[in-house]
Chains A and B, each alone.
Chain A
Amino acid sequence: MAGHGPKTHFKNPAVRWLDSRLPIVSMMNDQAIVFPTPKNLNYMWTFGAILTFMLVTMIVTGITLAMHYAANTAIAFDQVEKIMRDVNFGWLLRYIHAVGASMFFFAVYMHIARGLYYGSYKAPREVLWMLGVIILILMMATAFMGYVLPWGQMSGWGATVITNLFSAIPLVGPSITEWLWGGFAVDNATLNRFFALHYLLPFVIAGVVILHIWALHVAGNNNPTGVSVKSSKDTVPFSPYLTIKDGFAIVIFMILYAWFVFYVPNYLGHPDNYIQFNPLVTPAHIVPEWYLLPFYAMLRAIPDKLGGVIVMFASLLILLVIPWLDTSRVRSARYRPMFKIAFWIWVVTCIALGYLGAMPAEGIYVILARIFTLYYFGFFLILMPVLGIIETPKPLPNSIADDVLAKSKKKHADVHTGSGAGTPEGAAAAPKKD
């Protein structure tokens, strides 16, 4: 859908007038209404819409919170408490924003896992994937700086630890760290610039998201078979089919979200962040937010300061090159028995690293973290290129339509053997497991 399809004709003269001067209406129509989407997408494909919803939620609640916040070390902590206590619905806005950060990362990790499993990063979607990795990195920077703003113990010490990563850079490291701080420690200048950047970055993310969607609409969606769209039989128009499905998924997601906001709003946070930052006392146990734990574990797994920092950043940057590390001609893990296993072990690895990131960096925990770090990189650097060559994929369906048809035939065969002919629609039948 590069925009050169048959010209859309609008009955309304005002719309026609506008569209001939700025074709925004036909663009919306082409990209958001008639845009052909594979009909076999499963619910893992709804996370894109969920992420859009999250970005909007975070920006809207963030702007309203900024109306009450003050980025000054003398009052920032109190000001956040004023939001919680005095501002009308302030507690609600802040909890939506704070829990929202976690929900945002939960959704983005699901989105990335889906892309990895179904080979959505493979040609012709490499740029789409790389833009996604850039969004992830920007999200992490934004979340990190946002966590500093309440100026609690975890805010201040988190900021100290993360900014100190840069001091590992040879020669210029200490200067860079002081430049980041605007002083000799995390202090007022740091808080103030973090607030400015925390406000700016979401809009940068929104810009890259537009590029991400643009790239998506050039190649079109991947799908669970990984087989490219061949004809219009493979697709449905985006609206209303995918809009309603995405809407349903968003509301289901909101139920989970609302549960955290209204019933366990502080579960995802750390109690120490309800203590004002004290530059003289480090909390007994420093942990980043859960979504950064796997990377934190990899940082600590390396017994060398610079090495740890390099490994941590490499664990993110390696995602940029996986379109070229994967040598398989088949996209979807559904037809790749060996890759499928490697993938699930990689998922377990990430979860295990998350667990280890929250544990003290000592003894068995460090050894385990090293093993899992090795697999994390091994999966990308060794398994991806090698499996693509040695593995024999299962036979692929000819097209999406064929695949869907084959599946429904199987199901109906069950219906017929189960209860004879002429089962009324809606009658129960055992679904074929696959």
Chain B
Amino acid sequence: MATTETNDGHGEAHGETRRDFLYIATGAVAAVGIGSIAWPFIDQMNPDAASLALASTSVDISALGEGESMTVMWRGKPVFIRKRTPTEVEEAKEVPLSELRDTDARNPNIGTGEATDANRAVQGREDLLVMIGVCTHLGCIPLGQAGDFDGWFCPCHGSHYDTAGRIRRGPAPENLAIPPYSFPDESTLVVG
């Protein structure tokens, strides 16, 4: 275009550096602006204040008898609370670590540790097992007291967990996760 030529043709000796600096500064400020405005639009999809605050749920477990389970909701997911029978505890204890697919306890309440039954169960109450009931494969909910290891069995893709909720067979990569919890008193469990 002819107009382009006439207007761009004049190179100026003075002011060339100032102009370059100006262009770069303006461009940089524009980039910063676009970057900053993007954040609110991304962050709005993160869990909101109400969801973050709903991080704990408390359950009365005094009525839970031996061999019984209950399921409570925590952060929109099921949490399995099971009072295991002595047989189940024995079964879990007998498994050598070398047979486990995932040797991590996956228990934030003890920090890191090996996936022994003691590290999986509630500290000091070996009959009690509290786990997030979500299969570590693709998120289905496993069925209790089922599968080849008498623990949990995920019907979606056939993952078998043992009586300590550890993955033993099937496509799932990890043991069932354990949520953070506490016991304000003997009969109350607070998850989260």
Contact = CB atoms under 8 A, between A and B. Distances in A.
User: Do A and B contact each other directly (Cβ–Cβ < 8 Å)?
Assistant: yes
A64 B42 CA distance: 9
A89 B38 CA distance: 11
A241 B1 CA distance: 14
Contacts of A241: 7
A13 B4 CA distance: 24
Interface in B94-153: none
B44 interface: yes
Interface string A233-253: 101110001000000000000
A58 interface: no
B1 A82 contact: no
A394 interface: no
14 contacts: A34-B4, A60-B41, A64-B41, A64-B44, A68-B44, A85-B49, A86-B49, A87-B48, A87-B49, A89-B43, A93-B41, A232-B3, A233-B3, A236-B7
A64 B4 CA distance: 41
Given A64-B41, A93-B40, A88 B48 contact: yes
Shortest beta-carbon contacts, A-B, top 6: A89-B40, A86-B48, A86-B49, A88-B43, A86-B50, A87-B48
Interface in B34-62: 39-41, 43-46, 48-51
Given A85-B49, A90-B48, A237 B3 contact: yes
A67 B51 CA distance: 15
Given A82-B50, A85-B49, A90 B3 contact: no
A82 B50 CA distance: 9
A92 interface: yes
Interface string A83-118: 001111110110000000000000000000000000
Interface residues of B, number: 16
Interface of B: 1-4, 7, 39-41, 43-46, 48-51
A36 B95 CA distance: 80
B1 A36 contact: yes
B3 A236 contact: yes
Nearest to A30: B1
Contacts of A237: 1, 3-4, 7
B48 A82 contact: yes
A232 B2 contact: yes
A90 B1 contact: no
B25 to A, nearest CB: 14
B3 A235 contact: yes
A93 B44 contact: yes
Nearest to B47: A88
Contacts of A233: 3
A60 B7 CA distance: 37
Contacts of B1: 34, 36, 232, 237
B41 to A, nearest CB: 6
B160 to A, nearest CB: 38
Contact of B40 (A85, A92, A232): A92
A96 to B, nearest CB: 9
Contacts of A82: 48, 50
Nearest to B39: A89
B42 to A, nearest CB: 9
Interface string A37-79: 0000000000000000000000010001001100000000000
